[in-house]
Structure formats: structure tokens, C-alpha cells
Amino acid sequence: MFTGIVTDVGEVVAVEPRADGLRRLIIVCNYDRVSIAIGASIACSGPCLTVVATGTHNGRTSFAVDAAAETLAVTTAGHWAIGTRINLERALKIGDELGGHLVSGHVDGIAEVLAREDLPDMARMTLRVPAPLARFIAVKGSVALEGVSLTVNSVEQDKFSVLIIPHTLAVTTLGAAQPGDVLNLEVDQMARYAARLIEARGM
């Protein structure tokens, strides 16, 4: 479980194809190597991935994760290459501050950036989501984009907008997002459960 508060931005330094469509990704970061346990979960720009090895790369901590064929197919991980910057968040511990919202690290789909407007104190991004996910997005509700917890500002059919403050633009990969880019999207779990309850009552 995560909160959508990014604690580091890593970089992919190696991509290694494996059997059965698996792909091993090696990511450098600023975390202390001894603090990363084999088997730990790290949210990597949205998807929760399991650490299978740790090491160093040019003096920096590195860790390896295996992305399965399903992850590669339904998230942006299938497009990650050497040099791709990755938002990182360590798994939530009991007692940690919940600064964003509860994020599972299970990406629901891909959102496309339709427009970006840079305002004096923030940036407004408008995105389109796959139609089946639109019903889970509500004004003042939460979404995670590239693993970043954001509040929905407006909704119109399959489009929604978010306002992103300068700090978030500076410390996450969202600062580089432009129209035409695609971002990993996780909808709010509460919205998903509420929709399921409504469906169940209608059965």
C-alpha cells in the first residue's frame, strides 16, 4: 500500500528481456541500499513492483524489478527504456503519515494528456481516460497519475483535469508531461467500491 507521495525520482539504467515475456528493469535511485530488502515493494511510476536484487551503478544505489507481460501490456512500463525517469515511493508502514490517499499500486489504465496550461502558481492538465474508468473519477476525488496522488479539479465525460503545484512539478516526472504523453492511472479505491455496491444493489 502507498500514499501517492513520491519520495525519489529514479532512472532506468538497464532493460533485460527474460523468458515468458518478462522484462527485468534496473533502476538507480537515492535510497540507501541497505534499506532496500529483497522482496520489498516499490511503486515505480504507479505499478507496484517487487525488488529482486540490489546493487550499485556508478556510485548510486540500484535495484532490479521484474515486470510481467501483463504489467508491460497495461501500463507505460512497456515503453520504459534506458534513461526513462521513474517516480518512486516505498511501501507505507504502519504509523507513517498518510499525506496523499491510499494507493494500491495496481494501475487501472492509461490516461492521455490532452492539454497543459502553465499558470503563475501551478499547471493545469487535462486528460482523457478509457471510457470504462470515467465513472470512477469525480470532482474533488483522488487519482494517482504516474504514482502521484492528485485531486480532480473538473470532470466532463471521459475527460478530467488536475491542478499541479510547483513543488510536485519539480520533484516528480509530471513536470515534463506534455500533450500527447500517456500516464499510468489508478482510480480511487473508494470510488471503485462505491460503484460496485451500487451495481450489487441493482442486481
Catalytic residue chosen out of the listed positions 3, 41, 54, 172: 41
Task: Give the pLDDT confidence of 67-108 residue by residue, as tens digits.
Answer: 999 999 999 999 999 999 999 999 988 778 778 888 999 999
pLDDT-derived band at 133, boundaries 50, 70, 90:
very high
pLDDT number for residue 203: 56
- 128 and 196 housed in the same domain: yes
Position 3 in a domain? no
- 190 and 121 housed in the same domain: yes
50-54, 144-148, 198-202: least confidently modelled range: 198-202
Catalytic residue chosen out of the listed positions 50, 56, 73, 131: 50
Q: Choose the final residue of a domain: 56, 90, 124.
A: 90
Active site residue 2: yes
Position 98 in a domain? no
Tell me if residue 157 falls in helix, strand or coil: coil
pLDDT-derived band at 202, boundaries 50, 70, 90:
low
Q: Choose the final residue of a domain: 30, 58, 90.
A: 90
Residue 60's domain is classified under what CATH number? 2.40.30.20
pLDDT of 196 strictly over 90: no
Q: Grid coordinates 512539478 are at which residue?
A: 169
Catalytic residue chosen out of the listed positions 7, 40, 68, 91: 68
Q: Which domain holds residue 142?
A: 109-201
Total domain count for the chain? 2
Position 127 in a domain? yes
Position 13 in a domain? yes
Position 163 in a domain? yes
184: amino acid identity, one letter: N
Total Cβ atoms within 10 A of residue 13: 16
Active site residue 84: no
Instruction: For residue 119, give every residue at least 6 positions away whose Cβ sits within 8 Å of its Cβ, in sequence order, or none.
Output: none
- 83 and 160 housed in the same domain: no
- 113 and 83 housed in the same domain: no
pLDDT number for residue 15: 97
User: 190: burial class by Cβ within 10 Å (0-12, 13-18, 19+)?
Assistant: middle
- 12 and 73 housed in the same domain: yes
Position 143 in a domain? yes
- 16 and 72 housed in the same domain: yes
Catalytic residue chosen out of the listed positions 14, 69, 73, 106: 106
- 81 and 114 housed in the same domain: no
